[in-house]
């Protein structure tokens, strides 16, 4: 299976995927796409010999589809991708787009819920567990069918950064 990974930042989930997908794996990362030319994960991809491309307009479905077709992509993986995927791309890749989110969805998801904001909201709520979710992407932010989840405890005195680090480790395994 030919996989495209979409990133907006440092790409530590991309790193975890690349480490896991050895030469005999049933899936291979053939393209890394970013909406930001400064995303650290682009360098990671290039160092691994994977084409790393920057979208000139992340809201332009035809640009997406052209790039995905050029690399014969079967599956899209959003790993810290902060833009909405255009609806025609979602329709073309129906049930073939995965996202990872740093909370136990459907709690603490939706527009504006990313990065430390998620962990701050969890701490403010008094929740005693949080975690990570892998789900299918549909037209609504963070609401597609859930494929896998894992939980971590929220500890007394946690800062958003503490909780974020604990969850990021879990994301890499998930």
Enzyme catalytic residues: 101
Sign of CA dihedral 104, 93, 85, 57: positive
Distance CA 171, CA 157 (A): 22
Task: Give the nearer residue to ligand GRF in terms of CB position, either 54 or 65.
Answer: 54
**In the complex, least distance from residue 62 CB atom to ligand GRF, rounded to whole angstroms:** 26
Chain position whose Cβ is nearest to ligand GRF:
80
Nearest distance from residue 139's CB to ligand GRF, in Å? 18
Nearer to ligand GRF, 7 or 107 (CB): 7
Contact 171, 132 (CB under 8 A): yes
* Residue nearer to ligand GRF on the CB measure, 104 or 171: 171
Residues lying near ligand GRF in the complex (CB under 6 A): 7, 9-13, 41, 79-80, 100-102, 114, 168, 171
Distances (CA, A) of 49 to 5, 42, 45, 130, 166: 14, 11, 6, 35, 30
């Amino acid at each position: 299976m030919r996989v495209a990974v979409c990133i907006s930042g440092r790409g530590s989930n991309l790193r975890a995927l690349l480490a896991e997908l050895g030469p005999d794996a049933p899936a291979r990362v053939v393209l890394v796409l970013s909406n930001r030319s400064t995303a650290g994960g682009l360098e990671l991809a290039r160092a691994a010999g994977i084409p790393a491309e920057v979208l000139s307009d992340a809201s332009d479905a035809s640009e997406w589809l052209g790039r995905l077709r050029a690399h014969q992509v079967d599956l899209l993986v959003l790993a810290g991708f902060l833009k909405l995927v255009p609806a025609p791309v979602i329709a073309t890749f129906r049930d073939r787009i995965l996202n990872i989110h740093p909370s136990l969805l459907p709690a603490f998801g939706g527009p504006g819920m990313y990065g430390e904001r998620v962990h701050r909201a969890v701490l403010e709520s008094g929740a005693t567990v949080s975690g990570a979710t892998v789900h299918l992407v549909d037209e609504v932010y963070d609401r597609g069918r859930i494929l896998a989840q894992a939980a971590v405890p929220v500890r007394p005195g946690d800062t958003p950064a503490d909780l974020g680090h604990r969850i990021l480790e879990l994301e890499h395994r998930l």
